[in-house]
Amino acid sequence: MEKVDLKKSLESFRAKPGDFRLITLPPLRYLMIDGRGDPNTAPQYADAVSTLYPLAYTVKFASKGALDRDYVVPPLEALWWADDMTAFTTARDKTQWEWTVMLMLPEWIEHSLVEESIERVRAKKNPPRLAEVRVETLDEGACVQTLHVGPYDDEGPVLEALHAEILPSRGLVPAGRHHEIYLKDARSTAPERLQTILRQPVAAVET
């Protein structure tokens, strides 16, 4: 049985440091949980992540067993936003951050399989935010993305350059929530080796 690795096959996982690339993405489906506050200290963030992973792996094994289709569970992703964008760029006030943590689902996974997997996880582990999980399609369309290498707290200058220089110079404006994809596991990777795709959905400036 061939194991599909979406990280290797999808354009959405490709980025290079210093290269602010414009791409157009198709609609993609995710397991999602929402929250607010500093991801380093807010218990609900850790609870969201610890809820998504057992569900994602249960869906994966259900796909392998029932559909004869195996895949690598994709990296953790998150949408981030705040009323004041400087909370991300210069102020970095994490208490003001709102977020959605997500794990991508392959296109062949039907909603019924997710529902069955939720019940299996509830019966076995029942993680704290299981009742809040939803499946949603994210249609970001045109996006500018780059790769940040290093600690998460060093993203500020990159985001400031993206919003203050790159987008205006290309006649673009933000058209959706800031999106991050965590290619390395922070639990087992040194901060200086972390790799994070930084993505911003965009639209052309209206004239």
Q: What is the pLDDT of residue 1?
A: 72
The Cα 104–Cα 125 span in angstroms is 21
Checking if the pLDDT of 21 tops 80, the result is: yes
* Cβ-Cβ contacts under 8 Å for 66 (sequence gap 6 or more): 113
When divided into structural domains, the chain yields a total of: 1
- For the chain, give me the number of helices (H) and strands (E)? 5, 11
Tokens representing 18 are 């210093």
Domain that holds residue 65: 3-204
Checking if the pLDDT of 85 tops 80, the result is: no
Q: How confident is the model at residue 193 (pLDDT cuts 50, 70, 90)?
A: very high
Checking if the pLDDT of 89 tops 80, the result is: no
pTM of the model: 0.94
- Mean of the per-residue pLDDT values of the chain: 94
Beta strands 70-71 and 3-4, pairing class: parallel
User: What CATH number does residue 154 fall under?
Assistant: 3.20.80.10
